[in-house]
Amino acid sequence: MIAFLLTAEHSLDLGISVILVALLAVGVRYQVWLGGIERNVVLGFAVYSTFQVINNSFMKHWMMKYFHWWVSASMVSFEVAMFIWIVPLLRPLPPPTPSPMLLSEETSVTLLRQIVEQMRRIVEELKRLGKARWK
Averaged pLDDT in 10-residue chunks for the chain of 135 residues: 71 80 81 77 77 71 62 73 77 80 89 96 90 75
The verdict on 113 and 75 lying in the same domain is no
Contacts of 22 (CB under 8 A, 6+ apart): none
The verdict on 73 and 18 lying in the same domain is yes
Q: What is the pLDDT of residue 121?
A: 95
CA distance to 30, 48, 52, 127, 133, per residue, from 78 (Å): 31, 6, 9, 59, 61
Q: What is the pLDDT of residue 124?
A: 93
Q: What is the pLDDT of residue 14?
A: 79
Q: Answer yes or no: is 46 within a domain.
A: yes
DSSP string, 21-61: HHHHHHHHHTT----HHHHHHHHHHHHHHHHHHHHHHHHHH
Number of folded domains in the chain? 2
The verdict on 63 and 105 lying in the same domain is no
- Note whether 59 and 66 are within 8 A (CB): yes
Q: What is the pLDDT of residue 21?
A: 79
Range of the domain at 112: 101-135
The verdict on 76 and 18 lying in the same domain is yes
Q: What is the pLDDT of residue 69?
A: 67
